[in-house]
Amino acid sequence: MRPIGEVWRIGSLLLADSGSLYGLGQATRAAERGRPGYQSVSREERREIAAAALRGGYAVGEAVNFDATPIPLDADAPATHSALSGDGLLGYASGEIRVRWKAGAPLSGAPALSSFLTERADLLINPPFSGG
């Protein structure tokens, strides 16, 4: 594992500073492997992934997103665009690109991409619980 760039996590999407968009894959925080606890095979696998991130150059505690799925953004017509067809994170309905909270969820009730991004950005700028 090695850093290849930084992204902003926006709900189920990852936005790169280049403007590239990705569907969230898996995430961990870089950490020391530590001694095996034998709690479960899946827990040991997660510990190994966190240690691989640390060995790959991430700082202890740094968030690491991996297995993200690129969402191609180009000039194709939205209704036929491969990123918007099927059950992916983005879909096209009622003349708008909509964001599902998870792949496979229905588009009915899913917010338009523009309002989704506006709401998420506002939450980052004005967190509801700022400790004050």
Cα dist from 50 to 8, 41, 42, 47, whole Å: 19, 14, 12, 5
Give the tens place of pLDDT for each residue, 20-33: 888 888 999 999 98
pLDDT exceeds 90 at position 90: no
- The reply to whether 80 and 57 lie within a common domain is no
Give the tens place of pLDDT for each residue, 109-125: 899 988 998 898 888 88
The mean of the pLDDT values for the chain is 84
CA 77 to chain CA centroid, nearest Å: 24
Domain count within the chain: 2
From CA 70, how far away is CA 19, in angstroms rounded? 11
Q: Which domain holds residue 40?
A: 7-66
Please, which pLDDT band fits residue 77 given cuts at 50, 70 and 90?
Answer: very low
- The reply to whether 61 and 89 lie within a common domain is no
- The confidence score (pLDDT) of residue 130 equals 64
Q: Within 7-132, where are the H helices?
A: 41-55, 113-125
- The reply to whether 46 and 87 lie within a common domain is no
- The reply to whether 55 and 77 lie within a common domain is no
Residue 84: name the closest of 62, 103, 108 by CA: 103
- The confidence score (pLDDT) of residue 10 equals 86
Beta-ladder partners of 30: none
* 17 vs 86: which has the higher pLDDT: 17
SS (H, E, C) 41-109: HHHHHHHHHHHHHHHCCCCCCCEEEECCEEECCCCCCHHHCCCCCCCCCEEEECCEEEECCCCCCCCCC
61 within domain boundaries: yes
